[in-house]
Structure 1
Amino acid sequence: MSEKYIIGVDGSEPSRVALAWGLARATERGASVELLHVADDSFLSESVAFLSEAQQASQQMLEAEREYAQSLGFAGEITGTAVVGHPIAEVEEASKRANLLILGAHHGSRLAGSFFGTRAVKVAAVAHCPVAVIPQTQVKPNRGIVVGVDGSEPARKAIAYAAEEADRRGLPLVAVYAWMPPLTPGLEYLWSEELVESQRTAAEEAIAIGTAGLAQRYPDLEVRREIVQSPPVAALVKAAEGAELLVVGSRGRGGISRLLLGSVSHGVLQALPCPTVITR
């Protein structure tokens, strides 16, 4: 059974960059594509006439983006859904029927700046499938697939996703483990070289465990392990400069906490050094 990608569209330049990225990937994978446009009803009158006009406008936007997709030469299966509603809720529901949800980076939109941050951050926190967020600035990749490693279950899932991606594309997998000695301001002198060395040893063990078994599963996959003494977000953003893809695990859980990404995935999406996938 082929994969299905849902691509959020709204006619903006960031959206069209993401659309082009998603269509190229769908062509490589033989995946079907569903375009999704959501007309935000937060600012609309609840009258039937207003909602009907919003639905019509949403459908027109969808058709325009479908035509744009076809103008890019995409020859695969492509469908579309146009709805009026709350963007985050509608995208979350749509993610239940997708293998990958693809969004543009809409920094500074009217949906940004609230408690949950940007729209991509909100969606990545609630989606039921991996979410790819595509930056508007495109740089020629030269570094393979980068994945964050920290010994957690979300990180293990991210590694599995990134390894499959790297193997399929014939690219190296760069596993990055970032660590910092826990410092209390003014008490740095309490950290001896022995204690710092123990932290380094723990980091080496964690990255070894995190990447264990990849050689057996992917015999031709080149795995590079990088241990960096740096804050995790800064380390991943730097490592992913020029990368084909950055993969980070999500710590989303049930209840209200499912609306929150971990600080690392949140920080990476704010910086967005390259196309980035948040796994579930």
Structure 2
Amino acid sequence: MKLLETILLTTDFGKGSAPAMDAAVALAQTFESKLVLLHVIAESLLPFLSDQGDIAEIEKRLHEVAKQIEAQGVGAPEIFLGKGVPAEVICGEAARRDANLIVIGCGARERGGKCRPGVTADRLLRRAITPVWIARMGAAPTPRRILCPTDTSAASRRGLKNALALCRKFNAKLTVLNVQEPMLPLHTPIVGLSQEKDQARLNRQQRDFDELLTAFDFHSVDWTKKVRYGTTHKEIVAEAAELKADLITMGTVGKTGVERILLGSVTHKVLQELPCSVLTMKEEDVVRLRLESAISAIEEHFMRGQQLLERGLLADAVREFDQCLLSSPAYAAAWKGKALAYERLGEKDQAEAARAAAKRIRELRRP
């Protein structure tokens, strides 16, 4: 079973593409993923390509990169050479192939050691529905320390779910960060808040953060939570620097309400600093299960459920066990698996009901 089935690796053959290749290879090795290697000839350059020989030279370079990838033991990647507006072509190919992830480099390093996304990466982040991994120059391709900034939005929940899956696969340490922004005394009258009410707002945000964490299964993950106070993007960058984080996972839509802070704009500001590699998600998960209707074998669904249970993808595990029970309602092991998943989800009544069903089936089978 592959939870990260297809990775779309973009290259412009520049220095920034090297860390992207390293990250994509590490992911493909870990998740046994299929790699698609893509280069786009910008439409503005097409008039300067004199003949088919120029195209052939680009294809040759693509094949050279493919050989470097294959030499690392992940299998020969599929090669695609596109023409047009790079961000549009990349998004289109990701959608056509139902890719789980787009991996792209961050561009050249600037003075002072900073890296920022190039034009294509920046446009890609704005347009892509598919999750995007921006690999920073100098970053470790295999993340060992992952930072996940969260609020209470659906985007943050998606980011945390994927951060947990990556931590389990890479045996990485996770820091779940919540940034609280106190209102400046000068601003509180403008938005109709007293300092006392603003403190109550911060206390409520802390409770919401703690409640959010109870909805996730941190089984087998080395993790900690952290609260910082200040400007959101600055605190995220500071925390990443202190942790020496290898990867930040972020949703692209965040807080609403009196703060009127969109995590999308926060993400953009973090990317201008790019303290490490960054994984952004809008509408799709990086790690997601593909339920194939053609699969009818009970044992296949059961094994999927067991693997998902071990990886902490509990809702997906329940669905797999349900697939077993649709074909064989008396499959006690599937009922037991459901009980374990519901228990770790905090659904005590459903866990008890599934456990009781498994017990009844076993009792009926006794001689």
> How does the TM-score come out when normalised to structure 2?
0.63
Bigger radius of gyration:
2
CA displacement, residues 149-180 of structure 1 (integer Å, 9 cap, x when unaligned): 12111111111111211233333321111121
Separation in structure 2 between the aligned mates of residue 138 and residue 268 of structure 1, nearest angstrom: 16
Change (3 A) 1:93 1:168: same
Change (3 A) 1:130 1:39: same
Change (3 A) 1:40 1:57: farther
1:232 aligns with: 232
2:70 aligns with: 70
**Match runs of 1:146-225 below 5 Å:** 146-183=147-184, 185=186, 194-214=196-216, 217-225=217-225
CA displacement, residues 115-174 of structure 1 (integer Å, 9 cap, x when unaligned): x97422211222232110011123699972211112111111111111211233333321
State yes or no: 1:127 paired with 2:119.
Answer: no
1:89 aligns with: 88
1:40 aligns with: 42
Change (3 A) 1:36 1:140: closer
3-state SS in 1 of match to 2:16: helix
User: Is 2:8–2:101's contact at 8 Å kept on the other side of the alignment?
Assistant: yes
Question: What's the CA shift for 1:266?
Answer: 0.8
Change (3 A) 1:42 1:27: same
Separation in structure 1 between the aligned mates of residue 206 and residue 149 of structure 2, nearest angstrom: 14
Separation in structure 1 between the aligned mates of residue 263 and residue 109 of structure 2, nearest angstrom: 19
Separation in structure 2 between the aligned mates of residue 154 and residue 144 of structure 1, nearest angstrom: 21
Separation in structure 2 between the aligned mates of residue 167 and residue 43 of structure 1, nearest angstrom: 43
Separation in structure 2 between the aligned mates of residue 271 and residue 142 of structure 1, nearest angstrom: 19
| Structure 2 alignment gaps of length 5 or more | 111-116, 255-261, 283-367
Change (3 A) 1:11 1:145: same
Separation in structure 1 between the aligned mates of residue 278 and residue 211 of structure 2, nearest angstrom: 24
Separation in structure 1 between the aligned mates of residue 82 and residue 54 of structure 2, nearest angstrom: 9
CA displacement, residues 15-37 of structure 1 (integer Å, 9 cap, x when unaligned): 01210121122111111111000
CA displacement, residues 64-121 of structure 1 (integer Å, 9 cap, x when unaligned): 22133234x2332411101111101101112212111100001589xxxxxx974222
Question: What's the CA shift for 1:221?
Answer: 2.3
Task: Please identify, of 84-93 and 163-172, the stretch whose mean Cα deviation from structure 2 is larger.
Answer: 163-172
2:287 aligns with: none
1:30 aligns with: 32
User: Is 1:101–1:130's contact at 8 Å kept on the other side of the alignment?
Assistant: yes
3-state SS in 2 of match to 1:45: helix
Question: What's the CA shift for 1:54?
Answer: 5.5
Root-mean-square deviation (Å) = 3.2
Change (3 A) 1:139 1:16: closer
Question: What's the CA shift for 1:57?
Answer: 4.0
Question: What's the CA shift for 1:251?
Answer: 3.0
3-state SS in 2 of match to 1:132: strand
1:268 aligns with: 270
Separation in structure 2 between the aligned mates of residue 85 and residue 67 of structure 1, nearest angstrom: 25
User: Is 1:249–1:278's contact at 8 Å kept on the other side of the alignment?
Assistant: yes
User: Is 2:22–2:141's contact at 8 Å kept on the other side of the alignment?
Assistant: no
1:80 aligns with: 79
Letter in 1 for 2:34: S
Change (3 A) 1:209 1:235: same
Q: How many residues align?
A: 262
1:15 aligns with: 17
Separation in structure 2 between the aligned mates of residue 130 and residue 176 of structure 1, nearest angstrom: 20
Letter in 1 for 2:151: D
Separation in structure 2 between the aligned mates of residue 261 and residue 54 of structure 1, nearest angstrom: 43
Separation in structure 1 between the aligned mates of residue 85 and residue 275 of structure 2, nearest angstrom: 28
Separation in structure 2 between the aligned mates of residue 169 and residue 274 of structure 1, nearest angstrom: 17
3-state SS in 2 of match to 1:42: coil
3-state SS in 2 of match to 1:10: coil
Separation in structure 1 between the aligned mates of residue 143 and residue 26 of structure 2, nearest angstrom: 18
User: Is 1:104–1:134's contact at 8 Å kept on the other side of the alignment?
Assistant: yes
Separation in structure 2 between the aligned mates of residue 142 and residue 57 of structure 1, nearest angstrom: 34
Separation in structure 1 between the aligned mates of residue 144 and residue 62 of structure 2, nearest angstrom: 35
**Greater per-residue helix proportion:** 2
